[in-house]
Structure 1
Amino acid sequence: MRVLVALGLVLLIAGCTAVSRPFDASPEQVAAAAYKADGPPKITVFTMVNNRSMTGGHTAIMVSGSQRVIYDPAGSFKHFDIPKRGDVLYGVTPAWLQSYKSAHARSTYHVVSQEFTVTPQQAETALALVQARGAVPGSMCTNATSGVLRQVPGFEDVNQTWFPIRLMDQLAQRPDVVTDRYYENDEGDVVDGIVSAQRTAASAGE
């Protein structure tokens, strides 16, 4: 029964590939889901790295300012309880952040997080950019994320690229980067991440 419910809630998880898109969430749904994280404003770049070939499979950006969102260009993380408009996921609570990472991490991939503490102005610029960018076609995730990032003051030296590892390597050279690698050893997919997030959210009262 749990599997059937999860399958009913979940659509797809993939890397930077073209997928069928549900309708965009309404502005009212987006506004109702807004979540502001504790702590200073931050920009975090996620890179999904193949554990065998060490090649990149997907790139996304999380912006935490007046609200926390994940810009997931050409991504496939979808759930009816987390509004998505364009390629932006809204309402990124701690449970949904963990769900996002868990959905991408498995025996074949791990998730590299490169976090930067930024000013409120930088965060709001990044938020406006990802909201204005709109949905992109498949295979353009890193081109879109690097294109957005280089428009944020302080990140103008980022070279726009199509390749996740090249962007990750550029950011690794910055002195202010805080890097984390998240691994899971199961063979699961987005179903595992969603079920885990639902449990965490229930226990946290989210």
Structure 2
Amino acid sequence: MILDRRSLLAGLAASTALAGCMAVEVGASDDEIAAVAYRSPGPTKITLYTMVSTQNDEGLHSGLLISASQQVLFDPAGSWYHQSLPERGDVIFGMIPQAVEFYEDFHARETVKVTIQSVEVSPEVAEMALGLARANGPVGNAFCSNSISKLLVKLPGFEAVEVTMFPKNLRESFSQVPGVQTRYRQDLDSDDHKTLLGNQGDV
């Protein structure tokens, strides 16, 4: 079942400007998740990714990297993946630095600019975010920003975040959270990312 979905996603990546936004249940086992569990040596933090079209300034997708007792990616309705990283619902486990780099590189391209906003949080808040992401389940088409914003508003310190359907609105309200550090990423890659998804090495 997982392999079939991965094959489907690889094909979709070649035909869409930004691979993302479909609700498919993926159920990695506890053993698979435990085998790749990775804890970042840095401070516990939450990182919001916002993908925006450079052609029409339209918000395309949102993703959330959570660095808690495990570093995971909550990528609701997203279709980025790596063959060695198990996924349950819309949470991808084993997000080591190479996996994070791949995620950023996959989205940043000639037609897509990525805003990366990070904020350090207490271990308790990070663990709360991890628990909420794991409990969320798969997200329907176009509800990426909505599901992330609904998660964030439940966390202490994120009162500035507004529940929204729109990636750019979420980015703007997230920027009001105290301590947010922002960077941007864009490169000259084409929109054809079939090679990135279809011919993967280990991370």
TM-score bucket of the superposed structures, by smaller chain = 0.7 to 0.9
Deviation at residue 197 of structure 1 after TM alignment: 7.1
Structure 1 residues 55 and 29: CA distance shift in structure 2, 3 A: same
Structure 1 Cα separation of the partners of residues 179 and 97 of structure 2: 23
In the other structure, the counterpart of 1:4 is: none
Deviation at residue 18 of structure 1 after TM alignment: 2.3
For the Cα contact (< 8 Å) 2:47–2:66, is it kept in 1?
Answer: yes
Q: Does 1:147 align with 2:150?
A: yes
Structure 1 residues 139 and 15: CA distance shift in structure 2, 3 A: farther
1:169-184 matched pairs, under 5 angstroms: 169-184=172-187
Q: Does 1:17 align with 2:16?
A: no
The residue identity in structure 2 corresponding to 1:17 is C
Specify the SS of the correspondent of 1:58.
strand
Specify the SS of the correspondent of 1:126.
helix
In the other structure, the counterpart of 1:57 is: 60
Selected match of 2:162 from 159, 181, 185? 159
Q: Give deviations 1:5-59, integer Å, cap 9, x for gaps.
A: xx8994544454226x474211111111111111110100000011122221000
The residue identity in structure 2 corresponding to 1:153 is P
Q: What is the aligned-residue RMSD (CA, Å)?
A: 2.4
TM-score (structure 1 length as normaliser): 0.85
Q: Does 1:36 align with 2:43?
A: no
Structure 1 residues 190 and 36: CA distance shift in structure 2, 3 A: farther
TM-score (structure 2 length as normaliser): 0.86
Structure 1 residues 11 and 156: CA distance shift in structure 2, 3 A: farther
Matched pairs, number: 194
Structure 2 Cα separation of the partners of residues 191 and 151 of structure 1: 36
Q: Which stretch has the larger CA shift, 181-190 or 54-63?
A: 181-190
Specify the SS of the correspondent of 1:136.
coil
Structure 1 residues 186 and 123: CA distance shift in structure 2, 3 A: same
Structure 2 Cα separation of the partners of residues 138 and 125 of structure 1: 25
Where does the alignment leave 5 or more consecutive residues of structure 1 unmatched? Answer: 1-6, 202-206
Structure 2 Cα separation of the partners of residues 25 and 141 of structure 1: 21
Structure 1 Cα separation of the partners of residues 118 and 137 of structure 2: 23
Q: Which stretch has the larger CA shift, 53-62 or 169-178?
A: 169-178
Deviation at residue 192 of structure 1 after TM alignment: 4.9
Where does the alignment leave 5 or more consecutive residues of structure 2 unmatched? Answer: 1-6
The residue identity in structure 2 corresponding to 1:53 is N
